[in-house]
Structure 1
Amino acid sequence: MIHEPIYPQVPGHRGVDTSIEAAEAIEMSVGHLQRVALRAIRAAGSRGLTTNELVAAVRIGRDSIQPRTSELREMGLIRDSGSRRRNANGKSAIVWVAQSSRGRAPR
Protein backbone atom coordinates (compact mmCIF):
# COMPACT_ATOMS: atom_id res chain seq x y z
CA MET A 1 0.00 0.00 0.00
CA ILE A 2 1.41 3.41 -1.00
CA HIS A 3 0.72 6.26 1.39
CA GLU A 4 0.73 9.91 0.42
CA PRO A 5 3.11 12.01 2.51
CA ILE A 6 1.37 13.89 5.30
CA TYR A 7 2.25 16.82 7.54
CA PRO A 8 4.94 17.52 8.62
CA GLN A 9 6.64 15.88 5.62
CA VAL A 10 4.57 18.14 3.36
CA PRO A 11 3.43 21.69 4.17
CA GLY A 12 0.17 22.06 6.03
CA HIS A 13 -2.73 24.30 5.15
CA ARG A 14 -5.97 25.49 6.70
CA GLY A 15 -8.30 24.09 4.04
CA VAL A 16 -8.77 27.54 2.50
CA ASP A 17 -8.07 27.90 -1.21
CA THR A 18 -5.26 30.43 -0.75
CA SER A 19 -3.66 28.33 1.99
CA ILE A 20 -3.87 25.17 -0.13
CA GLU A 21 -2.35 27.02 -3.10
CA ALA A 22 0.54 28.32 -0.96
CA ALA A 23 1.22 24.84 0.45
CA GLU A 24 1.25 23.31 -3.03
CA ALA A 25 3.53 26.06 -4.35
CA ILE A 26 6.21 25.48 -1.72
CA GLU A 27 5.91 21.69 -1.46
CA MET A 28 8.96 20.95 -3.64
CA SER A 29 11.15 23.29 -1.53
CA VAL A 30 10.03 22.19 1.92
CA GLY A 31 12.69 19.53 2.52
CA HIS A 32 15.44 21.96 1.55
CA LEU A 33 14.02 24.74 3.73
CA GLN A 34 13.65 22.36 6.67
CA ARG A 35 17.30 21.32 6.32
CA VAL A 36 18.43 24.96 6.13
CA ALA A 37 16.44 25.88 9.24
CA LEU A 38 17.61 22.81 11.15
CA ARG A 39 21.27 23.46 10.30
CA ALA A 40 21.00 27.04 11.55
CA ILE A 41 19.26 26.03 14.78
CA ARG A 42 21.83 23.29 15.39
CA ALA A 43 24.66 25.76 14.71
CA ALA A 44 23.23 28.11 17.34
CA GLY A 45 23.75 25.40 19.95
CA SER A 46 22.22 25.85 23.38
CA ARG A 47 21.67 29.58 22.73
CA GLY A 48 19.07 28.63 20.09
CA LEU A 49 17.26 30.98 17.75
CA THR A 50 13.97 32.82 17.74
CA THR A 51 12.08 32.77 14.45
CA ASN A 52 13.24 36.30 13.65
CA GLU A 53 16.85 35.34 14.41
CA LEU A 54 16.44 32.26 12.22
CA VAL A 55 15.11 34.40 9.36
CA ALA A 56 18.12 36.72 9.67
CA ALA A 57 20.59 33.82 9.92
CA VAL A 58 19.37 32.02 6.80
CA ARG A 59 18.30 35.11 4.84
CA ILE A 60 15.03 33.54 3.78
CA GLY A 61 11.68 35.31 4.15
CA ARG A 62 9.67 34.70 7.31
CA ASP A 63 6.69 33.38 5.32
CA SER A 64 8.87 30.59 3.95
CA ILE A 65 10.92 29.73 7.03
CA GLN A 66 8.58 30.16 10.04
CA PRO A 67 6.30 27.24 9.11
CA ARG A 68 9.37 24.99 8.95
CA THR A 69 9.84 25.41 12.73
CA SER A 70 6.40 23.88 13.31
CA GLU A 71 7.24 21.00 10.98
CA LEU A 72 10.65 20.40 12.59
CA ARG A 73 9.03 20.45 16.04
CA GLU A 74 6.45 17.87 14.89
CA MET A 75 9.28 15.69 13.57
CA GLY A 76 10.98 15.85 16.95
CA LEU A 77 14.06 17.61 15.55
CA ILE A 78 13.73 20.90 17.45
CA ARG A 79 12.02 21.93 20.64
CA ASP A 80 10.96 24.99 22.57
CA SER A 81 13.89 25.64 24.93
CA GLY A 82 11.65 27.29 27.49
CA SER A 83 13.63 30.51 27.03
CA ARG A 84 12.19 33.64 25.50
CA ARG A 85 13.82 36.64 23.83
CA ARG A 86 12.29 39.88 22.68
CA ASN A 87 11.76 40.44 18.97
CA ALA A 88 12.37 43.82 17.33
CA ASN A 89 8.70 44.61 18.00
CA GLY A 90 9.26 44.02 21.73
CA LYS A 91 7.18 40.85 21.92
CA SER A 92 8.44 37.69 23.58
CA ALA A 93 9.49 34.92 21.19
CA ILE A 94 10.16 31.20 21.59
CA VAL A 95 13.82 30.23 21.45
CA TRP A 96 14.15 27.04 19.37
CA VAL A 97 16.94 24.55 20.05
CA ALA A 98 17.84 21.28 18.33
CA GLN A 99 16.76 18.05 19.97
CA SER A 100 19.44 15.54 20.74
CA SER A 101 19.41 12.84 18.04
CA ARG A 102 15.66 12.23 17.94
CA GLY A 103 13.11 12.34 15.16
CA ARG A 104 13.44 11.89 11.40
CA ALA A 105 15.67 14.14 9.36
CA PRO A 106 13.91 16.13 6.63
CA ARG A 107 14.21 14.69 3.13
Structure 2
Amino acid sequence: MNDLYDRELRAHAAGGYSSPGAIFPYTAGFKGSAETGREAAEAINKKLGRLQRLVLGAVKGRGRYGLTPEEGADILDIDRVSVQPRFSELKALGLVKDSGQRRVNPSSRKRAVVWVLAGFAPDKGGDL
Protein backbone atom coordinates (compact mmCIF):
# COMPACT_ATOMS: atom_id res chain seq x y z
CA MET A 1 0.00 0.00 0.00
CA ASN A 2 2.95 2.36 0.45
CA ASP A 3 3.49 2.30 -3.29
CA LEU A 4 -0.10 3.38 -3.90
CA TYR A 5 0.12 6.04 -1.20
CA ASP A 6 3.43 7.39 -2.53
CA ARG A 7 2.09 7.41 -6.08
CA GLU A 8 -1.00 9.29 -4.92
CA LEU A 9 1.04 11.91 -3.09
CA ARG A 10 3.20 12.48 -6.17
CA ALA A 11 0.12 12.66 -8.40
CA HIS A 12 -1.57 15.14 -6.07
CA ALA A 13 1.55 17.32 -5.99
CA ALA A 14 1.50 17.29 -9.80
CA GLY A 15 -2.13 18.44 -9.81
CA GLY A 16 -4.06 15.24 -10.25
CA TYR A 17 -6.05 12.29 -9.01
CA SER A 18 -7.74 13.49 -5.84
CA SER A 19 -8.38 16.39 -3.53
CA PRO A 20 -6.08 17.18 -0.59
CA GLY A 21 -6.60 14.65 2.18
CA ALA A 22 -8.52 12.32 -0.14
CA ILE A 23 -6.61 9.25 -1.26
CA PHE A 24 -7.47 7.43 -4.49
CA PRO A 25 -8.96 4.78 -4.77
CA TYR A 26 -10.92 5.41 -1.59
CA THR A 27 -12.23 8.61 -3.12
CA ALA A 28 -12.92 9.47 -6.74
CA GLY A 29 -9.93 10.77 -8.64
CA PHE A 30 -9.39 13.34 -11.33
CA LYS A 31 -6.55 14.35 -13.59
CA GLY A 32 -5.02 17.75 -14.08
CA SER A 33 -5.67 20.96 -12.25
CA ALA A 34 -9.03 21.92 -13.77
CA GLU A 35 -11.54 22.78 -11.09
CA THR A 36 -14.31 21.01 -13.01
CA GLY A 37 -12.56 17.65 -12.63
CA ARG A 38 -12.08 18.20 -8.91
CA GLU A 39 -15.71 19.26 -8.50
CA ALA A 40 -16.98 16.22 -10.40
CA ALA A 41 -14.83 13.89 -8.28
CA GLU A 42 -16.06 15.49 -5.07
CA ALA A 43 -19.68 15.20 -6.23
CA ILE A 44 -19.38 11.49 -7.09
CA ASN A 45 -17.76 10.71 -3.72
CA LYS A 46 -21.20 10.79 -2.10
CA LYS A 47 -22.20 7.70 -4.10
CA LEU A 48 -18.76 6.19 -4.69
CA GLY A 49 -19.13 3.16 -2.41
CA ARG A 50 -22.50 2.27 -3.90
CA LEU A 51 -21.21 2.61 -7.47
CA GLN A 52 -18.12 0.53 -6.70
CA ARG A 53 -20.32 -2.21 -5.20
CA LEU A 54 -22.61 -2.17 -8.24
CA VAL A 55 -19.68 -2.44 -10.66
CA LEU A 56 -18.00 -5.15 -8.58
CA GLY A 57 -21.27 -7.09 -8.51
CA ALA A 58 -21.60 -6.81 -12.29
CA VAL A 59 -18.04 -8.09 -12.77
CA LYS A 60 -18.70 -10.93 -10.33
CA GLY A 61 -21.91 -11.82 -12.14
CA ARG A 62 -20.02 -12.32 -15.39
CA GLY A 63 -17.52 -14.76 -13.86
CA ARG A 64 -14.62 -15.73 -16.13
CA TYR A 65 -16.25 -14.00 -19.11
CA GLY A 66 -15.76 -10.62 -17.43
CA LEU A 67 -16.93 -7.34 -18.83
CA THR A 68 -15.78 -4.06 -20.29
CA PRO A 69 -16.76 -0.73 -18.74
CA GLU A 70 -19.21 -0.11 -21.59
CA GLU A 71 -20.82 -3.51 -21.01
CA GLY A 72 -20.99 -2.72 -17.29
CA ALA A 73 -22.71 0.59 -17.98
CA ASP A 74 -25.26 -1.17 -20.18
CA ILE A 75 -25.92 -3.91 -17.62
CA LEU A 76 -26.28 -1.43 -14.77
CA ASP A 77 -28.14 1.15 -16.87
CA ILE A 78 -25.78 3.84 -15.59
CA ASP A 79 -23.91 6.37 -17.73
CA ARG A 80 -20.49 5.05 -18.79
CA VAL A 81 -18.74 8.14 -17.41
CA SER A 82 -19.97 7.16 -13.93
CA VAL A 83 -19.03 3.50 -14.37
CA GLN A 84 -15.66 3.49 -16.15
CA PRO A 85 -13.61 5.19 -13.38
CA ARG A 86 -14.87 2.60 -10.88
CA PHE A 87 -12.85 -0.06 -12.72
CA SER A 88 -9.64 1.91 -12.05
CA GLU A 89 -10.55 2.20 -8.38
CA LEU A 90 -11.42 -1.48 -8.08
CA LYS A 91 -8.17 -2.37 -9.84
CA ALA A 92 -6.19 -0.19 -7.41
CA LEU A 93 -7.97 -1.97 -4.54
CA GLY A 94 -6.90 -5.33 -6.00
CA LEU A 95 -10.49 -6.51 -6.53
CA VAL A 96 -10.53 -6.68 -10.34
CA LYS A 97 -7.83 -7.37 -12.88
CA ASP A 98 -7.25 -7.13 -16.59
CA SER A 99 -8.15 -10.54 -18.01
CA GLY A 100 -5.75 -10.11 -20.92
CA GLN A 101 -8.75 -10.21 -23.27
CA ARG A 102 -10.12 -7.34 -25.32
CA ARG A 103 -13.58 -6.81 -26.80
CA VAL A 104 -14.77 -4.17 -29.23
CA ASN A 105 -17.06 -1.48 -27.82
CA PRO A 106 -20.18 -1.12 -29.96
CA SER A 107 -20.22 2.67 -29.50
CA SER A 108 -16.67 3.38 -30.66
CA ARG A 109 -15.58 0.18 -32.42
CA LYS A 110 -12.39 0.39 -30.31
CA ARG A 111 -11.02 -2.48 -28.26
CA ALA A 112 -11.57 -2.34 -24.51
CA VAL A 113 -10.07 -4.19 -21.55
CA VAL A 114 -12.17 -7.07 -20.25
CA TRP A 115 -12.10 -6.98 -16.43
CA VAL A 116 -12.58 -10.02 -14.19
CA LEU A 117 -12.49 -10.65 -10.46
CA ALA A 118 -8.91 -10.97 -9.28
CA GLY A 119 -9.39 -14.71 -8.70
CA PHE A 120 -10.23 -15.25 -12.38
CA ALA A 121 -7.27 -13.29 -13.75
CA PRO A 122 -4.54 -15.23 -15.52
CA ASP A 123 -1.17 -15.57 -13.81
CA LYS A 124 0.36 -13.85 -16.82
CA GLY A 125 -1.38 -11.60 -19.26
CA GLY A 126 -3.28 -8.45 -18.46
CA ASP A 127 -1.82 -5.70 -16.27
CA LEU A 128 1.74 -6.53 -17.34
Common fold by TM > 0.5: yes
The CA deviation at 1:61 is: 0.5
List structure 1 segments (4+ residues) > 6 angstroms apart after TM superposition: none
* 1:9 match: 26
Give the distance between the partners of 1:52 and 1:44, measured in 2 at CA. Answer: 14
Q: The residue matched to 1:56 in structure 2 has which SS? A: helix
* 1:92 match: 111
Question: 31-40 or 85-94, which moves further after superposition?
Answer: 85-94
Unaligned stretches of 5+ in structure 2?
Answer: 1-20, 120-128
Give the alignment's Cα RMSD to 1 decimal. Answer: 1.0
Give the distance between the partners of 1:90 and 1:67, measured in 2 at CA. Answer: 20
* 1:105 match: none
The CA deviation at 1:78 is: 0.2
Q: Deviations over 1:31-83 (max 9, x none)?
A: 00000000000110000001111111111101111100000000000000000
* 2:71 match: 53
Give the distance between the partners of 2:82 and 2:70, measured in 1 at CA. Answer: 12
Is residue 44 of structure 2 the alignment partner of residue 26 of structure 1?
A: yes
Aligned AA for 1:90? Answer: R
Structure 1 or 2, whichever has the larger Rg, is: 2
Give the distance between the partners of 1:80 and 1:13, measured in 2 at CA. Answer: 21
Give the distance between the partners of 1:50 and 1:16, measured in 2 at CA. Answer: 28
Larger RCO (CA under 8 A, 6+ residues apart): 1
The CA deviation at 1:90 is: 1.6
* 1:103 match: none
Q: State the TM-score, normalizing by the size of structure 2.
A: 0.73
Unaligned stretches of 5+ in structure 1?
Answer: 101-107
* 2:90 match: 72
Aligned AA for 2:111? Answer: S
Tell me the percent identity.
Answer: 44
- Please state which structure has a larger fraction of its residues in helix: 2
